[in-house]
Structure 1
Amino acid sequence: MQALWKANERGDIEAIERLLEQGVPVDAADARGRTALHSASKRGFVEVVQLLFAHGVNADVKDKHGSTPLHLASKYGQANTVRLLLARGANVNAADKLGKTALHLATEEREYVDVVKALLEHDPDANAMDKDGYSPLHSACYWGCLEIVHMLLAHGVDTNLVNKDGNVPLHLATCWGNVEVAKALLEYGIDMNVAMGAWKGRTALHLASYQGRVELVKALVAKGADLEAVDELGKTPLQLACQSRRLNVMKVLAASGANMNNLDKHGISSLHEACRHGRLEVVRKLLAYDADATAVQKDGKTALHLASYNGHVGVTLSLLTRGVDANATDKGGKTALHWASQRNHTRVVKTLLAHGVNVNAVHKGAWTALHIASHKGHTRVVKLLLAHGANVNIVDKAGKSALHFATLSGRTRVAKALLLRGAQQTPPATTRSSQNLRTSDGCTSLKPSYPNLSCAAVPENRPDTHLIASKPQSFSVSCHSKPHSAVNRLDYRQFNSQAQYLDNQVGNRR
């Protein structure tokens, strides 16, 4: 048997014939279950195949993987051998253990056109599906075999078969960038709007738009693809094109009448997403297409809120130039200035202030942008706000001014900036007074002997509270805080240094 295998590998027909005449079994198999016919078919040794048939070989013998000689001849592109095997009665629809027929294997290679032609001439089941639900057309579309796709379509294969992943051949061609294959499918009356099972319910237009395949997008649109189809997240093809910055695709979809203002399941529009991620060129395109710049997300945020929160100066400027309401508030009552100040986006703050935003706007807790910036310790933002008319003594619903926030948070530089701008212990009559006002933490402000200073609240239950008393009547303490309040978590040493600093400031101002 070993001698037969070696002769077969060489294609030595004389040696093979001699061995067969000596009684070597023609169907003898190796450890993989392969016979001499498998080997000769794989290598395209037509004369050897003919000789083996002359000695009564079984044309449909299978190896351990369920492959017949026809499978191997088709897989390796041996067109002449395929014709010979078929002429000798090989089963054209035999399937291996993966459910693949010879036609499946032949359609996985672009250059095996002659093999496919030979198989189609013997009327195979061209819609047979393997164990993954792939038909020969699925395979050809996946691998981008354009000429083979044309042959299968001309043979009348079903173009709308769905594999186990929920994908039709068009999905595979689009997914793998086989644009010409996809365009060929469009000429055969396929359903373009079938949702892709493995791609979040997206259609071919979704995927082509996301990948920026302009010519395919044009072809799909021309054939009537649904511009407003939504995937599992509620996104349209236009939203995916914006997400991936496909400006040319956006242009095609917009010109075709796509809705610029669709909101996905989270209430997010294309403009919202572009502003959040700072995609300036996309924002400009959307605004040019009259996208609604006033649309709000479920949390009430506008495009301007999102741009400001994320520090995108160019996007912020584009929106303001478009005339959006700079003072629009979200559900928490915050304006874009609140968010930019909280996030320390100095350039965005400058841009907003230059466009007349209300510097003293308050959110639901009556915090201004100055309160927030002071609490966060954003000194440059604080100075900008003050320079543009921020009220330094306005207090929130708990009676805290920006100076309270700065001091409680240990923001020395901010406190200094506020004091230099006239921060007071007792705010003017137009604001709520913080004198003797208990805060939300249960503490009153420190009441220094200097009447113009609002400093901080001191936690009780501290072993070193007596240190305050050692100061020469500078401060008195009135505290009713709970043991675990936010104020009690302050580092007393930090407070002590703040108190000393503020004490010195008052002395200097005298």
Structure 2
Amino acid sequence: MATLNDSTDEAKTLVEMEQMLSSLREEYRKVQNSLIECEQKYEILQASVDFDELPEKSFVRRLVMNTRELFESEIFSDLTVILDGHEVPCHRYVLAARSDCWNFSAMANMTALNFDNISYNIGYILLKWIYTDEVDHRLDEVMLIELMQVAKRFKLSQLIERCERLLIACVDKKNCIELYKHAYELNAPRLMESAASKIYSFRNEMSPDRFDILPGVLLHELLESKFKYPLHEAILLQRKDAVDLCLADKGPKLCNRLNELMNVHGDCPLALALASRQEATCRTLIDHGADVDAKSRNGDTLLLYFLKKQDYWACEFLLQHAARLDCVDPVGGGNLLHVLAACKAESATDKEILDSLIQRFLSGGISAINSTDSHLNTPLHLSIIHDNMALFNGLMKIQQLDLEILNREGLPALWYALAKNDAEFQYASALVSRGANFNAIRPRSGDTLLNLCVIDGLLEAAIYLIKKGASVDVPNAKGETALYLASSSGLDQLVQILLNSGANPNVQTKENRDTPLHVAIRCIYTHVIDSLLGEKAGSNGCRRVPLLFEIYNSNDDSALSLAISLGFYSVADKLIDFGADVNAKMPDGRSLLLRFISNGTVEGALYLIKKGCCPTAVESNSPAPLFLAIEHGVTSVVSALCQCGADLAAKNANGDSPLWYALCSNHESIADILVEHGADVDCWSTGPNGCMQTMLHRAIDENDERIACYLIKNKCDVNAIRKEGPCGSGHSEAVEKQTPLHMAATWGLLDVVSALIAYGASINAQDSEGKTPLHLAVINQHLAITERLLQSHHIDLNMPDKAGLTPFAWAVQGKADQICVAILKRNPQVALQVDSAGYNVLHNAIKKQDFELFLFLLSVRVDVNVRTQDSERLSPLHIACRVGNDLIIRNLLCAGSRINDTTSSKQTALHIAAQNDKAFVCSILLENKIDATALDNEGNNALHVAVQYGSLECIQTLLTESNINPFLTNSKGYGILHLLGLFGKENAASILVSIKCIIPNYPIEMPDPDGNTLLLFAFMNENYLLCREAIRAGACVGVCNRHFVSIFNYPMSSPKLLFRILDQLDHEPKWAEGDSCSDRHCGRLLCTKCSEHFLPILKYDIPKPVRVCNVCYDVLTSGVMMLEVAILLSFV
């Protein structure tokens, strides 16, 4: 079908090309006509050019036009032309103008002109051209040639040239030879050249018989002019006349021409003549000196060339003319015998000639009987390869013939004889009888001839060699013996013969270390396996070497393991029946069971277990079968091992039980099988620091929720506590007393916590620190776990640890806002729980000024009026006022804190703020309408407290921003100045100044119930600055209380303070009230008995002497410094 399509495409292409060529010819004709018209116009113009008038009106132009109109016209006709019986009116002057044949003298007396031997059509075309100078370009080549012949007859050179041009356009492959002949006859050189060029172009497409129309001379001229090898072409055209003309040249050119090579094949003239069997031409060439031993372009002599082509006639001809026999094939490298070996005779004649050639070549002086070609083949090799029995027999008669020469493939002639595999082994028998070596070895592969026969499946040839006594155990380079090769090819008959001939079935190959049994199993050759096993059993009594089953190849496969690996269980059954051991050890010490498990050969492992393989065998450096099966996730193998009694309590090298190992390997289906067969879900083992722990402890400790949940769901001990190990190891872990729930809560294992709760774990169990699982979840801020624990109805939220902290307290301490929300949502009352100091979380948050926690507690609506559970009974507002955090105070007030709540000592928040000198707090409280007049247990209002604790700014705030009574005395009768004198600190003087500024008329000498004034208390407390400011404010220096104690008689360790006070008096003080006179310096009451000293007091502007006491006298006369020195000396 494809050939038909190709032919159709070629035909279509050829038609298209012919159409294109026809179109080109038509265009060429049009161009020719246009050229002719142009030439005509040019001639007319050239003849009629007159610069004074237009060409159209010239005489010549008018003459030409009138002559055209006279064609076939009677007007002015003076001559009749007879054309094939037709009369055509003509004009003598027109004919005379065209040719000298019709000049006026010749036709002076003529009235009629007969164009004899001219057809009417040709004559008519001729006359039309004479008058109009026109020739129809559509005329075919026959009419143009006839017209051209007539034109030559009447010497019309212009018409001849016109026809020649038109014919040139008609030249093609079909008519080029004919046109070439006509051109020669008509002497049309241009047409002749065109036709010759076309002939040259299409020479290879033209048959020789087309050139028969050309005379020998003309053909010779054509070949000499256009072709590079005219002699070759003449021989190819089989033109003996042209060949003779080519050989006519006797010069040196002839010698070159005779032996000149032509075309890509390098054919010389003699080769061309011999190929076409032109015997006469061949003899002519040889007679003229052609070389019978000429070589082709590739170096072949003529004899070698034609012998390769199996042209025995040519060979015979060359030998008759003394061609040489010692030539060598330049391509194959052999001699004529090598070439002759491949020759065949198709006919009886050819056979006769071929036999003659063989005899001639063998007896014709060829000494190289054992020579080799480029493939190192001898003629003997090739005679067998090409089944040339005649040559083979001829060679075998020669004693010098070498039978053991190896060709490039490393093969002797005997191999090719064996490869014939004929029933009678004619070639092989002849060679063996002549002494050929049937144990020859091929160097490249090391194969014997027997091996090669097995490889190529030459069963009969292999049997032939065995019968001849060939060696059966010679391995090749790969270590393959004939038995191995036969086993690998499934030749069970040959296997039996080899075994019967003593072949060793245990020989291993070098690379794969396979035995014949290995390869037979791999290739599933059951008959070969049966033959090998039958040999093992000694069924035929010819066993020489026992068949061994424990031979391992490079993959550590024995015959049994290989059969099982490949799934050939029927073969494995046979092997076991014949003695193969299912518990055999591989070279690495592992059993077959371990190997199949590790390789994932499940069916193989199950097969071995079924066949009685030991499931508990312990092997060095190898895991037990059960652990290996778990490692590889082989569920069916694990189940089989469990059913066969595998030890479920065994430990691997890492101390893991099978169940733990399965769970760690993500094989829960295997774990189910183990549990189903009684595996211990607790399995106590060594844990951290040598303690004893269950698998649940270990799973939680390793954060493996999946394993832990599995163990819990399979009813392990959910409340187990780690124990001490042998010799007391792991004591620290054991004393922690943490249950699995404690550990899961610590590590944040939500799924484990859920599972433990669901399966009955003790939710309120306490560890050694008293912490419950909820404590640990809160401490580690595991929100999800905390929420899950809170979902339990049995959770105890009020259980404190040994530090006294509940889970909620830990949540607050850890600022776990979401956990706090969750706990309060579960039980809002937990926020009221107090620590050992009596403080709840809100109290502590305020105390620590943890604003975020404080706001959080407010957001969960914690009671802001709950008091501390201590002796003070402080409210959150009290604590906030104590720490002085205005934001907390304002938020408390906004949250509904009662502003006037009092402590156990009846102090309000204002008292506490005043006590702690928090003036801005006092302002906040006063802004929020706190009762400033409230009194504590001692009758003190906030102002009393502020004065007592020296809170200057608070005093100012209270006096300026509140309605507090500054004159109020407490339950002891003390006013604010008494308290200032009693408790005054460094700033007491500033406080007094501030009070006097705010209340200028404040009574400075207000006495307490015992008559003590500010000055007395300040002096008693040795507060010099306060004493000074009191005196400046108008306090009486000499005043006495109800016990008659004054600053002058109050026992002091040193009178130094008194002296300083008196010395600082800068104006006369207020006098003490009484019946006696007063000291004009200090103002106290005196009598003549008390002092007799009188002296002027200049600092008071008292110039005259006045009464002063003894103390004042000493101060005024001696000065304070001298008195202090005297005091010091008195101590000394």
Show structure 1 runs of 5+ residues with no match: 1-13, 29-34, 438-444, 458-470, 475-492, 501-510
Residue in structure 1 matching 2:1010, options 360, 365, 383 = 365
Query: Aligned partners of 1:400 and 1:422: how far apart in 2?
Result: 21
Kindly provide the CA deviation profile for residues 390-429 of structure 1, in whole angstroms up to 9, marking residues without a partner as x: 23332222334445559864213212124x33358x7343
1:456: how far off?
A: 6.0
Name the CA shift for 1:158/1:86 in 2 (closer, same or farther; >3 Å). closer
Equivalent residue, structure 1, for 2:1039? 394
Percent identity between matched residues is: 19
Residue in structure 1 matching 2:992, options 349, 362, 366 = 349
Name the CA shift for 1:354/1:436 in 2 (closer, same or farther; >3 Å). closer
Asked whether the equivalents of residues 720 and 739 of structure 2 are also in contact (C-alpha less than 8 Å), the reply is yes
Equivalent residue, structure 2, for 1:135? 772
1:77: how far off?
A: 2.3
Query: Aligned partners of 2:934 and 2:621: how far apart in 1?
Result: 83
Asked whether 1:59 is paired with 2:682, we answer yes
Query: Aligned partners of 1:370 and 1:16: how far apart in 2?
Result: 102
Query: Aligned partners of 2:622 and 2:1093: how far apart in 1?
Result: 116
1:199: how far off?
A: 3.2
Query: Aligned partners of 1:93 and 1:368: how far apart in 2?
Result: 76
Query: Aligned partners of 1:396 and 1:192: how far apart in 2?
Result: 58
Instruction: Flag the structure with larger Rg.
Output: 2
Name the CA shift for 1:17/1:241 in 2 (closer, same or farther; >3 Å). farther
* Mean Cα deviation higher: 164-173 or 314-323: 164-173
Asked whether 1:69 is paired with 2:695, we answer yes
* Mean Cα deviation higher: 320-329 or 294-303: 294-303
Query: Aligned partners of 2:1075 and 2:621: how far apart in 1?
Result: 112
1:309: how far off?
A: 2.9
Equivalent residue, structure 2, for 1:239? 878
Secondary structure at the counterpart of residue 103 of structure 1: helix
Name the CA shift for 1:260/1:199 in 2 (closer, same or farther; >3 Å). farther
Equivalent residue, structure 1, for 2:917? 278
Equivalent residue, structure 2, for 1:163? 800
Name the CA shift for 1:145/1:336 in 2 (closer, same or farther; >3 Å). farther
Asked whether 1:186 is paired with 2:824, we answer yes
Structure number with the bigger relative contact order (C-alpha 8 A, sep ≥ 6) is: 1
Kindly provide the CA deviation profile for residues 402-460 of structure 1, in whole angstroms up to 9, marking residues without a partner as x: 45559864213212124x33358x734399986579xxxxxxx9645347434569xxx
Query: Aligned partners of 2:622 and 2:958: how far apart in 1?
Result: 82
Equivalent residue, structure 1, for 2:20? none
Residue in structure 2 matching 1:113, options 744, 750, 761 = 750
Asked whether the equivalents of residues 392 and 422 of structure 1 are also in contact (C-alpha less than 8 Å), the reply is no
Asked whether the equivalents of residues 241 and 250 of structure 1 are also in contact (C-alpha less than 8 Å), the reply is yes
Give the letter aligned to residue 655 of structure 2: A
Give the letter aligned to residue 985 of structure 2: R
Equivalent residue, structure 2, for 1:3? none
Kindly provide the CA deviation profile for residues 361-406 of structure 1, in whole angstroms up to 9, marking residues without a partner as x: 2223322212233444444333332333323332222334445559
Name the CA shift for 1:253/1:376 in 2 (closer, same or farther; >3 Å). closer
1:167: how far off?
A: 4.6
Name the CA shift for 1:386/1:147 in 2 (closer, same or farther; >3 Å). same
Equivalent residue, structure 2, for 1:199? 836
Asked whether the equivalents of residues 403 and 415 of structure 1 are also in contact (C-alpha less than 8 Å), the reply is no
Secondary structure at the counterpart of residue 107 of structure 1: helix
Equivalent residue, structure 1, for 2:1062? 415
Query: Aligned partners of 2:679 and 2:1018: how far apart in 1?
Result: 92
Asked whether the equivalents of residues 399 and 432 of structure 1 are also in contact (C-alpha less than 8 Å), the reply is no
Name the CA shift for 1:87/1:162 in 2 (closer, same or farther; >3 Å). closer
1:82: how far off?
A: 1.7
Give the letter aligned to residue 1067 of structure 2: R
Residue in structure 1 matching 2:976, options 315, 318, 336 = 336
Query: Aligned partners of 2:979 and 2:718: how far apart in 1?
Result: 69
Query: Aligned partners of 1:76 and 1:435: how far apart in 2?
Result: 95
Asked whether the equivalents of residues 374 and 402 of structure 1 are also in contact (C-alpha less than 8 Å), the reply is yes
Asked whether the equivalents of residues 309 and 339 of structure 1 are also in contact (C-alpha less than 8 Å), the reply is yes
Asked whether 1:309 is paired with 2:921, we answer no
Query: Aligned partners of 2:870 and 2:973: how far apart in 1?
Result: 31
Kindly provide the CA deviation profile for residues 108-137 of structure 1, in whole angstroms up to 9, marking residues without a partner as x: 24x533443454454533333335443222
* Mean Cα deviation higher: 405-414 or 340-349: 405-414
Secondary structure at the counterpart of residue 17 of structure 1: coil
Kindly provide the CA deviation profile for residues 196-249 of structure 1, in whole angstroms up to 9, marking residues without a partner as x: 2x333333433344344233222342xx63723442231222222333334333
Equivalent residue, structure 2, for 1:481? none
1:318: how far off?
A: 1.0
Using the size of structure 2 for normalisation, the TM-score is: 0.34
Equivalent residue, structure 1, for 2:655? 36
Asked whether 1:150 is paired with 2:787, we answer yes
Query: Aligned partners of 1:267 and 1:384: how far apart in 2?
Result: 33
Write out aligned runs for 1:221-300 (5 A). 221=861, 225=863, 227-233=865-871, 234-300=873-939
Equivalent residue, structure 2, for 1:81? 707
Query: Aligned partners of 1:217 and 1:358: how far apart in 2?
Result: 49
1:320: how far off?
A: 0.9
- Name the one with the larger helix percent: 2
Query: Aligned partners of 1:414 and 1:422: how far apart in 2?
Result: 13
Equivalent residue, structure 1, for 2:1108? 453
Kindly provide the CA deviation profile for residues 301-332 of structure 1, in whole angstroms up to 9, marking residues without a partner as x: 33223322333221111111113222233344
Equivalent residue, structure 2, for 1:441? none
Query: Aligned partners of 1:227 and 1:267: how far apart in 2?
Result: 15
Name the CA shift for 1:173/1:308 in 2 (closer, same or farther; >3 Å). same
Query: Aligned partners of 1:177 and 1:102: how far apart in 2?
Result: 26
1:155: how far off?
A: 4.4
Secondary structure at the counterpart of residue 187 of structure 1: helix
Query: Aligned partners of 2:681 and 2:776: how far apart in 1?
Result: 29
Query: Aligned partners of 2:856 and 2:692: how far apart in 1?
Result: 39
Kindly provide the CA deviation profile for residues 87-106 of structure 1, in whole angstroms up to 9, marking residues without a partner as x: 55431222344442112122
* Mean Cα deviation higher: 152-161 or 313-322: 152-161
Residue in structure 1 matching 2:623, options 8, 13, 17 = 17
Name the CA shift for 1:447/1:431 in 2 (closer, same or farther; >3 Å). closer
RMSD: 4.5
Asked whether 1:125 is paired with 2:748, we answer no
Kindly provide the CA deviation profile for residues 43-93 of structure 1, in whole angstroms up to 9, marking residues without a partner as x: x95569989989956625276766433234324422233234335543122
1:160: how far off?
A: 3.0
